[in-house]
Chain A
Amino acid sequence: MVAKESFRRVGACSWELAKSYDERMQAPARIYAGEVLFERAFGDRSVEQLVNVAMLPGLVKYAMAMPDMHQGYGFPIGGVAAFDYDKGIISPGGVGYDINCGVRMLTSQMDYEDVAPHLDALATELYRRCPSGVGGSGAVSLSWGELNAVLDGGSGWALKYGYATAGDVARTESAGCLPRAQSAAVPDRAKARGRGQLGSLGSGNHFLEVDVVDAVYDATTADIYGLRVGQVVVQIHCGSRGLGHEVCTQSLRQLQDAPRRYGIPIPDRELVAAPVGSPEGQAYLAAMAAAANYAFANRQVLAHFVRLAFEEILAGKVPDWHLDQLYDVTHNIAKVEDHTVDGMQMRLVVHRKGATRAFPAGRPELPAVYRTTGQPVLVPGSMGTHSYVLAAEPASLELTLGSSCHGAGRTMSRRAATRAVRGESVRAQLKEQGVAVRAKSMRRLAEEAPFAYKDVSLVVESVVGAGIARKVARVRPLAVIKG
């Protein structure tokens, strides 16, 4: 077990474990967190998992963990690790099974008062139009040919078929399409699972939420983001469904022998890896990117059905019910990015496992509208609590290679949560707080009870304290749709 005394404080909200801690470490390990969350990180195995990541070859800068870190399998959740494109590795365990799980926020022109009388009807319509639950079919069924077009085109496919606007696509990370995607690299079995699930939320911590902006911290940026106090917004949190799970499972299986063949020492078999440039590394990159495109299209199709639900319930009752896209971020991904490291330009493969990209003003990857503010970083809280919109700060590139937290982060197991509370009482409590809930499973509601998560405001204050991002706005939920 790693002791917290082994870490040295290197900033207000940053802590470092020297490379000398274990001779197998290729670089130091860093945790970005305030004191409370830093201490709590030692309550499970997440710090050990971070040290394991620091042992992977070609690691650049540090193995990093964001303040919402918690125990995962392989990488800790909230883990970020970048590897030299030429000399480093790529690891499916650094992305996980839900490839391109991410969050999208839509903004409206409506105030809370406009929507309040219709909230229950809206929640019911959203639940009806946006399928959820374990397994669960999606709103759209695809032929094999169309599925390949989704895998190769991502949000571009959705635009072609009327599920997206050009503005949506522009305001999606990587414009909703990773260029290295190859549908041919995705196993048939993954495709078989994905054909019927496009436009579905899934289960677990995935959700669809109607929120109201209840605080603005940075008026100038909020104005550019199109956010103001009292305004109704929507969040969608989901990923690549069974298709992504199957891509990860098959890739891990295929890579089991790669560490031996390439002489890559790994401390944990979930961290199997191949050199980025090897046939195995490139095959994973192509399949993972295709699954990521499926996830971008999935959130886009869901956004379309959210718009239809708003139209169905609110048309004629409010002056303007249309929804614009603020941004869509991915938080389980490996991306090829160019960064300056110790004054040198480097091409890296940045793994973010439960971490969001946070590119500041000036990065060419950002859509023109956000090039002066930095990208929106969407940080959903636990069910029934606040969520935040942050803006990436310039220091994020140096500190975390442009990465931030992705949410509140669990602190209690699902099992402990279901022992502590019943789903029905979670729903009743939320109703008391004025939150309409539609859920497929009461057990899931209990598992996702707010007390099973860290306080999202502590996570956000850590990110702000570290200098990674600044607060722009805060939202609170009005209606929650869960699987």
Chain B
Amino acid sequence: MGRWQELDHTADLALHVWGGDLKDLFVAAATGMFSLLAEAAPAGAPVRFELHLTALDAESLLVDWLNELLYLCTTEDVVGTEFLFTVLTPTELHAEVVGLPAGERRAGIKAATYHMLAVVAVEAGYETEIVFDA
């Protein structure tokens, strides 16, 4: 299981994210981001999306992943609640995302940024810090 923690940032929002493997890291980053954005509405039918992404490396893939989710959230007004990967390598992902209608918005996030981004392999898996433009 991955986990995440919000970090203080003067103007924007930031998360420290840990995962036992890349999948855990990507799920924790997405869950963390949605926790900053909004709660799911108390009632509503789930919506399913499929995402296929390729990128240069794990950092780019992570930013693409979060920005794709952000785009879905903004245009479809949903928050992602389940993230299932059929393919996840440092340069490619295929995922099915389940979303629920968004409730009250906590924050407006413009984008996940690449600022000083590094997906670092550690003994327990991976960790990274992500800054969001809010």
Contact = CB atoms under 8 A, between A and B. Distances in A.
B38 to A, nearest CB: 8
A202 interface: yes
Interface in A437-483: 441, 443, 483
Contacts of A202: 108
B74 to A, nearest CB: 6
Interface string B107-134: 1101101111100000000000001011
A145 to B, nearest CB: 21
Interface stretch (B4-12, B26-34, B40-48, B81-89): B4-12
B59 interface: yes
B111 A249 contact: yes
Interface stretch (A68-76, A147-155, A315-323): A68-76
Nearest to B104: A441
A245 interface: yes
Given A134-B107, A269-B117, A270-B114, A253 B11 contact: no
Interface in A43-86: 44, 46, 70-74, 77
Contacts of B77: 135
Contacts of A128: none
A266 B119 CA distance: 17
Interface residues of B, number: 33
Contact of B111 (A245, A272, A413, A416): A245
Interface of B is mostly: loop
A242 B77 CA distance: 14
Given A73-B12, A256-B56, A97 B111 contact: yes
A248 interface: yes
B133 A412 contact: no
Contacts of B111: 97, 245, 248-249
B60 A74 contact: no
A135 B75 CA distance: 8
Interface string B4-27: 001011111100000000000000
A203 interface: yes
B49 interface: no
B116 A270 contact: yes
Nearest to A75: B115
B52 interface: no
Interface string A96-117: 1110000000000000000000
B113 to A, nearest CB: 4
Contacts of B115: 73-74, 268-270
A447 to B, nearest CB: 8
Interface in B44-73: 55-56, 59-60, 63-64, 67, 71
B10 A73 contact: no
B108 A204 contact: yes
B113 A270 contact: yes
Given A270-B115, A410-B11, A413-B9, A135 B105 contact: yes
Q: Which 5 A-B pairs have the closest CB atoms?
A: A73-B115, A269-B114, A134-B108, A97-B110, A203-B108
13 contacts: A46-B10, A133-B105, A193-B75, A204-B134, A248-B110, A253-B64, A256-B55, A256-B60, A413-B8, A414-B11, A414-B13, A415-B13, A416-B8
Interface of B: 6, 8-13, 55-56, 59-60, 63-64, 67, 71, 74-75, 77, 104-108, 110-111, 113-117, 131, 133-134
Interface of A: 44, 46, 70-74, 77, 96-98, 133-135, 189, 192-193, 202-204, 242, 245-246, 248-249, 252-253, 256-257, 268-270, 272, 410-416, 441, 443, 483
Given A134-B107, A252-B114, A269-B114, 20 more contacts: A70-B11, A71-B9, A71-B10, A73-B12, A73-B113, A73-B131, A74-B114, A134-B105, A135-B105, A192-B75, A202-B108, A248-B110, A256-B56, A256-B114, A268-B115, A269-B59, A270-B116, A410-B11, A412-B10, A413-B8
